[in-house]
Each structure stands twice: as structure tokens, then as C-alpha cells.
Copies of this chain bind each other. A is one copy, B any other.
Amino acid sequence: MFKIGFIKLGNIATSLAIDLALDEIAERTDIEFKVISFGPKMTKKEGEASAELKAWGPQLVVISSPNAATAGPTAAREIFKGTPTIIISDGPAKKEARDAIAADGFGYIILPMDPLIGAKREFLDPAEMALFNADALKVLGAGGAVRLVQEELDLAMQSISKGEIKLPAILATPEKCAERMDFQNPYARAKAVGSLYMAQTVATIDAQACFRLKELEPIALAAAAGHEVMRAAANLADAAREMEKALDTVSRKPHARSGEPMKKTRLLEKPERI
């Protein structure tokens, strides 16, 4: 049994699906999960508190959070130095910062298309928060980001099982995500790529609302604009998938009970080992 541990600090939409994506029908017999989180909190205190996962003896640790360069995620990383650990976050996007993470022996997948929410009391409430995450999850799921994470975690676990640890070092781009979905129709792929770029635009807009603007009206307006673009991105991602459905060429990659990767393309065909 492979022991994989997750530390979720604060929230990005990827975090919502990250563990579920490894065993989507809860039938794998080769893997054990442990997930620790402190809900929305992600300060240094929570980063440090994540140390308690260590006692469980995870073979791979995944730390997912917004901006991995902040204090909480940084504190958590310190603790797991030495344990195979993969950072999943929407940043840092800068190469040097990512290289520093890699230099410390961590794997990483940076997903700039998992955007900052419009996190201001003037706009956000629990319902709006849920809706934003729903839209983001749609883009990530249909556009290939969820699969990219799934495949890389599966590969990392395999490498650890074989004793040849290999961790990902990936700055995800819209193109790289969409490639994973094996779109047969290039227009569907273009829609997916477009929706992922739109998600990146959301981050820019929401950053204004969260960090730069100071007055109620511009904050509420910017946050609302960001969430409108997120919703439009979800619609475009959905259209990409509908286009593949129209050709019955949706690529599916479920896990076998043994954990092995499988795939199928036509809805009424059986999944097969890859």
C-alpha cells in the first residue's frame, strides 16, 4: 500500500479534486490516503502544524496551497525536506523562485490557471466562493489541468515505488494542460486553451480587487468582473468538452483497481490498460 499524504493550506480549486483524482471511484487497493487541512487558514502557524502528518510515514507528500512563496506553505515545506514532496500551487510563477523550490529537492506543479478568488468581504460570501470554485474546477477539469496533476502524481508514486524517485518540475501553461486531454478536434483544443488563458486573466483582475484597490465600489466591481470572466471561461471549457462529445471522442483515463492507468475514448467501449 502506497501511503500518500496531502497537506491543503488555504484553497485553490485544484485542491478540491487533488486526492479524489487519484482514486475516483474509491476502489484502488494499492494506495492509502491521509489528508490534513486547516480549512481556509494558511498562515505560518498552520504550515507548522502540518508537521503532524509526518508520524503517519507518508511515502509522498503533496502540499497544495495558493502562492507557495508565502509563509504558511514555506513553513510546511521546511518540515518535509527529505521526504519526497510535491508543491502544487498557482505560484510563484517566476523561474528563480521555482528553481529555488526545486533546488531544495521539492517537486512542483505551478498552475497559473487556478486563479485567485475575489477574496474581499465587499464581494465574496460562501455562496459566491462555492460558485467561483465550481467554475474554476470546470476549467481545470475540462482543460486538462486536473489530468496533468493526476498523471504527474501517479508517475511520482510509481517512481518512488520503484526506488527511483522522480518528481515533476512543471510550470503548467494552457497549451501543456490541453495537450493532456488528447482532444481529437483541434477546435475543441483551441477552446480549452482559450478557457485556460481566460482563467489566467481572472487572476490579474482579482489581484487588483484583493491587493491594489481600496474603495468599496472599484473592489466590488473588479471582483465581480473577475468572477464573470471565470464564469465565461467555464462556459468555454464546457463547449470544448461538448465538441468532443459530439464526435464521441472524449478521452477518459480511469484507474484500474490495481491503480494502473487505463483509458477509453468512445463512451460505449471498455477502458483498457494503457
Contact = CB atoms under 8 A, between A and B. Distances in A.
Interface of A: 4, 6, 8, 10-11, 16-17, 19-27, 32-42, 119-131, 133-135, 137-138, 140-142, 144, 146-147, 150, 174-175, 181, 185-187, 189-191, 193-195, 197-198, 200-201, 204-205, 216-218, 220-222, 224-229, 231-236, 238, 241, 243, 245-248, 250, 252-256, 262, 266-268, 270-271
Given A194-B225, A267-B224, A24 B254 contact: no
A138 B134 contact: yes
A119 B26 CA distance: 9
A168 B47 CA distance: 33
Contacts of A197: 201, 204-205, 225, 229
A252 B126 CA distance: 8
18 contacts: A19-B39, A22-B126, A24-B124, A24-B126, A33-B38, A35-B39, A121-B262, A125-B254, A127-B181, A130-B137, A174-B225, A187-B250, A190-B221, A194-B205, A195-B232, A198-B198, A216-B268, A220-B267
Contact of A126 (B146, B198, B218, B234): B146
Given A24-B129, A190-B221, 8 more contacts: A17-B129, A22-B39, A36-B36, A131-B141, A137-B137, A186-B268, A190-B227, A197-B205
A113 to B, nearest CB: 12
A41 B37 contact: no
Main secondary structure of the interface of A (DSSP, over half): helix
Among all A-B residue pairs, the 7 with the closest Cβ atoms: A33-B39, A130-B141, A190-B224, A19-B39, A21-B126, A26-B40, A35-B37
A10 B26 CA distance: 8
Nearest to A24: B129
A181 B189 CA distance: 23
B204 A241 contact: no
A174 B119 CA distance: 21
Contacts of A133: 16-17, 20, 134, 137
A23 B39 contact: yes
A234 B33 CA distance: 30
Contacts of A238: 231
A134 B234 contact: yes
B39 A36 contact: no
Contacts of A254: 121, 124-126
Contact of A198 (B135, B138, B201, B247): B201
Max chain B Cβ within 10 angstroms of own Cβ: one of A35, A37, A127:
A127
A157 to B, nearest CB: 13
